[in-house]
Structure 1
Amino acid sequence: MIKKLIHYLSFRKCFVITILVVLILIISTILKINTYEVHTDIINVPQREYALVLGTGKFLPNGNLNYYYKYRIKSSAELYHAKKVKKLIVSGDNSRKDYNEPQMMKDDLIALGVPAENIILDYAGFRTLDSVRRCKNVFKCNSSIIITQYYHAKRALYLCDKNDMPNAIAYDAKLNVRFRYKLRNNAREILAWIKAWIDVNITDKKAKFEN
């Protein structure tokens, strides 16, 4: 009986300590997130050598244009023409021969007046983590401007911070969407945050292709 009681108390103590440690890590993460720079006004964006444009599908499953894609491309071209960046790294999915996000991004940026020689293609940006780690390890970029929507930018900067890119900043590719789409994105983002936290704090996840 006494052994069972000791075992129970030991288990309970370990459980409480584990919960406290997790809470401390979560709180410290939240406090750190609030220090990340996400610019919404192009005038205030500092100049950098590179911008990392995070990929997404150009078209929705129903065939309609994906406005998240449209405004990331638009914002990237605006930053380039405002001389805020010299080169754009377009990072997206090219896991199938019939699907090439980086090439689509490049073509659309060229159509907006960005010279082809200033666009760098990353064909293995399958996830935000992959894009960030490859930006650092493959393209040797230690400081960049992340171009994506605001809801996504904080997580991208968190991944940058945890992968030795603490000076990265972000530019919000602004767009207005219906409330129901915002709710859906926020719900997905919560799950994505949990996965990102586990990736960098527990499993030490790497990019699928690190070189």
Structure 2
Amino acid sequence: MKCGAGVAGGDRRRRPGRGPAGDGRTRERGGSDAGRRAGRTVRGAVRGPWPCGTRCAASPAGRRPGGGGTVAGVPAAGGRRPGGRRAVRTVVALCVLALLPAAWMRFSADGHLRGTADVERTEVAVVFGAGLWGDEPSPYLARRLDAAVELYRSGRTEVVLVTGDNSREEYDEPEAMRRYLVARGVPDRRIVSDHAGFDTWDSCVRARKIFGVDKAVLISQGFHIHRAVTLCRSAGLQAYGIGVDDRHDASWYAGGAREVLASGKAALDVLLRPDPVFLGDREQGVTRALESAR
């Protein structure tokens, strides 16, 4: 006989016992007929067609028979909501998409990086701005300029193109860079200023279209040089990069984190190829500087 069939089938079970008067008569467990019928209905609904002893779905744990699933949107004990898994997958996918441009920049530039000691002789070196402290180059920018001085002294470059932000009268990166180089022995006539290098893409496009540079060695920090080389080569320059050494302080790590976001914009620049903020007319500054070197 199946489990619970006795209840469902209305089997009346009796047990020996004494009546109220102790006369040895037996009495039914279920009480009256109406009570027995109500009891069978409730027990049948609770037990249902499931194995004997299984609790109903409305139990406090909210579990279906067998321990799996949920009832009426109530999560199983110890289970996870499906929405949580989708959120995790979405976050992982977004992180991968955010990192793809940076990974592409690094892969694209890896074969075009050099050191100051082994870079091939190149007529023009391009130094990208990196902020000012008052009227002086920031420590990061100073290290870039020091690398340019080393290249000039060793005869590996003849002209230094300094490119940076001069969008405000009181803020002039190229002029501060020029003063720094002149103070360390680079002749003023060998320095060319680009005052509209508002970002890396603008600096690369202007070097090619405005100053007529075909080939250059680029100087920047290690966390930025991959993006600079990729963008300048995409803009038409035969470019090589030198990533100057720096101690890995908080600013260095902040710059590395910023590169993740900047690489996304750089990828759009390569795809869409926008004009710089200010393109302007062709300038002869680099040509004249090279002629003075001969």
TM-score normalised by the chain length of structure 1: 0.79
Q: Distance in 2 between matches of 1:29 and 1:137?
A: 25
After TM superposition, the runs of 4+ consecutive aligned structure 1 residues lying more than 3 A away are 25-32
* SS of structure 2 residue aligned to 1:36: helix
For 1:53, what is the secondary structure of its paired residue? strand
Return the letter of the residue paired with 2:277.
Answer: K
Residues 42-85 of structure 1 deviation map (CA, whole Å, 9 limit, x = unaligned):
2211001101110121218xx99721111011111111111110
Aligned pairs for 1:15-54 within 5 A: 29=104, 32-40=107-115, 42-54=116-128
> Is 1:72 aligned to residue 149 of structure 2?
no
Identity %: 30
Which residue of structure 1 aligns with residue 262 of structure 2?
Answer: 192
Matches within 5 A, 1:151-162: 151-162=223-234
Equivalent in the alignment of 1:108: 180
Gaps (5+ residues) in structure 1? 1-21
Task: Kindly state the Cα deviation for residue 122 of structure 1 after the two structures are TM-superposed.
Answer: 0.5
- Is the alpha carbon distance of 1:114 and 1:29 closer, same or farther for their aligned partners in structure 2, counting shifts above 3 Å? same
| Offset at residue 199 of structure 1 (A) | 1.6
**What residue in structure 1 maps to residue 3 of structure 2?**
none
**CA displacement at 1:35 relative to structure 2:** 3.9
Whole-angstrom distance in 2 between the partners of 1:177 and 1:190 = 17
| Corresponding residue number in structure 1 for 2:170 | 98
Secondary structure, aligned partner of 1:48: coil
| Residue 121 of structure 1, aligned match among 180, 193, 197 | 193
More helix by share: 1
Answer yes or no: is the 8 Å Cα contact 1:53–1:91 preserved in 2. yes
The one of 196, 201, 205 aligned to 2:274: 205
Q: Report the counterpart of residue 53 of structure 2 in structure 1.
A: none
| Structure 2 partner of 1:175 | 246
Matched-pair contact (CA < 8 Å) for 1:38–1:150: no
Distance in 2 between the 1:80 and 1:145 partners? 12
* Counterpart-to-counterpart distance in 2, 1:108 and 1:80: 14
Task: Check 1:34–1:127 CA distance in 2 against 1; reply closer, same or farther (3 A cut).
Answer: closer
Partner-residue secondary structure (3-state), 1:120: strand
Q: Is the 8 A contact 1:94 1:123 kept in 2?
A: yes
Partner Cα distance (1:120, 1:27) in 2: 30
Cα 1:186/1:83, change in 2 over 3 Å: same
Residues 210 and 187 of structure 1: CA distance in aligned 2, closer, same or farther (over 3 Å): same
Q: Is the 8 A contact 1:36 1:154 kept in 2?
A: no
Question: For the aligned residues, what is the CA RMSD?
Answer: 2.5
User: Structure 1 residue 29: deviation in Å?
Assistant: 3.5
In the alignment, the residues of structure 2 paired with residue 31 and residue 66 of structure 1 have an alpha-carbon distance, to the nearest angstrom, of: 25
TM superposition shift of 1:32: 4.7
Determine if contact 2:110/2:226 at 8 Å carries over to the other structure. no
Q: How far off is 1:173 after superposition?
A: 2.2
Tell me which structure has the larger Cα radius of gyration. Answer: 2
State the Cα deviation string for residues 20-54 of structure 1 (Å, max 9, x = none): xx9xx9699458515432223x2211001101110
The normalised TM-score by structure 2 is 0.58
User: The residue matched to 2:274 in structure 1 has which SS?
Assistant: coil
Do 1:93 and 1:125's aligned partners in 2 also have CA atoms closer than 8 Å? yes
The CA distance in 2 between the partners of 1:131 and 1:106, in whole Å, is 16
Equivalent residue, structure 1, for 2:133? 59
Structure with bigger RCO (C-alpha 8 Å, 6+ apart)? 1
